[in-house]
Structure 1
Amino acid sequence: MGKTVYEGRYTTENDQDIVVFLIGMRVNKRRAIGKWLPVFTAMPGMIRELYENKDELGFLSMESFFGLRTTVMIQYWRSDEDLLAYAKGQKHLKAWKNFNQKVGNTDAVGIYHETYIVPQGNYESIYGNMPLHGLGKAAKRIPVTAENLSAKKRLTSVQYEAAQTKPKSL
């Protein structure tokens, strides 16, 4: 998982279902450090647990991004069942309980998450001269060839091809 740059163009296989989970927080009141810092510091322990138990938990990979007020973590999971099971696990439940006790209904900090269940063949990716990143860390990386040169060719699902041949309404 280093920072080796893979020269050339690569994509990922899209032959497995995947769950994309976005989770983050927004600092609404910067001076209320006592309210938002506990939310921020709860994540490292959970991330460590995910990486240490990837196969058992169904966690594949993640990326984190930090803005002035908002953070977002993009996680890739093997299935929605795995993600939901983790949500019921001890570390997450403890963090959620602590959040509710310390933050409660205050408007000093906000949290959010979004979950997307993506069936095989319904996603595609392209990486040019990049280290492993995003879906490229979660799914098998393969070189771009004539067979997968375009996004259309990489989206090989039955739904995509059916949508392309469906008659258009006037």
Structure 2
Amino acid sequence: MKLKVFSDQYVTENDQDIVVFLIGMRINKRLAIRKWFPVLKAMPPMIRELHENKDALGFLSSESFIGLRTTVLISYWKSSEDLLAYARGQKHLAAWKEFNTKIGNNEAVGIYHETYVIEKGKYETFYRNMPQYGLAKAIGHKPITKDMNTAKKRLNGIYSHKKI
């Protein structure tokens, strides 16, 4: 699927709270495929579930990256309550229980996550010559104007509903 590239400068509104959740795995022992491959394959069904049930789950969007040893999924959520509710959901709990049963403290594969709760007015974005990506894909974007043409102006809340 070819994504439309927006040639010019864009920003997102910073008028809503956002939760950014990073989750991933690291292959510590490359030859221990039987240990790390099940962890790797557990993620696609959850990602599919999120995209198919966005509104019901409070999930906004995601981006993913796969490196030589480490993967990361960056996801955007409406609230920490939505994220925590998903963590207690059937697909995630099943994957978590399977990981703990089969892998546990085995050093062949590691997993991690980080959660950032960001209040409205306390983040800024900038996109130029990009398809909608990251937060712009999650909540939409708008053309930049003179009153928001620097990161300082955007961070100082000149165009947001709440000043920092």
Shift of 1:142: 0.5
Question: In 2, distance between residues paired with 1:159 and 1:125?
Answer: 16
| Structure with the greater alpha carbon radius of gyration | 1
* RMSD of equivalent CA atoms: 1.3
Number of aligned residue pairs: give it. Answer: 160
Question: In 1, distance between residues paired with 2:3 and 2:97?
Answer: 36
Which secondary structure does the structure 2 equivalent of 1:4 belong to? coil
Shift of 1:56: 0.4
Amino acid at match of 1:56: A
Q: Deviations 1:114-143 (Å, cap 9, x if unpaired)?
A: 000000011111000001110111122010
Shift of 1:2: 5.3
Amino acid at match of 2:137: K
Percent identical among aligned pairs is: 66
Amino acid at match of 1:150: T
Match of 2:34 in 1: 34
Q: Deviations 1:42-92 (Å, cap 9, x if unpaired)?
A: 000000000000000000000001111011111000000000000000000
Where structure 2 has 5 or more consecutive residues not aligned to the other structure, the ranges are: none
Q: Could you list the runs of 4 or more consecutive aligned residues of structure 1 that deviate by over 4 angstroms after TM superposition?
A: none
Which secondary structure does the structure 1 equivalent of 2:16 belong to? coil
Question: In 2, distance between residues paired with 1:79 and 1:147?
Answer: 29
Shift of 1:93: 0.2
Question: In 1, distance between residues paired with 2:2 and 2:56?
Answer: 23
Which secondary structure does the structure 2 equivalent of 1:35 belong to? helix
Shift of 1:3: 1.1
Match of 2:61 in 1: 61
Contact 2:11 2:125 in 1 (8 A): yes
Note if 1:89 corresponds to 2:80: no
Q: Residues 1-20 of structure 1 correspond to what in structure 2 (within 5 A)?
A: 3-20=3-20
Match of 1:45 in 2: 45
Contact 2:23 2:113 in 1 (8 A): yes
Match of 1:134 in 2: 134
Q: Residues 114-133 of structure 1 correspond to what in structure 2 (within 5 A)?
A: 114-133=114-133
Shift of 1:102: 1.3
Structure 1 window deviating more from structure 2 (87-96 vs 144-153): it is 144-153
Which secondary structure does the structure 1 equivalent of 2:75 belong to? strand
Amino acid at match of 1:123: Y
Match of 1:98 in 2: 98
Shift of 1:159: 6.1
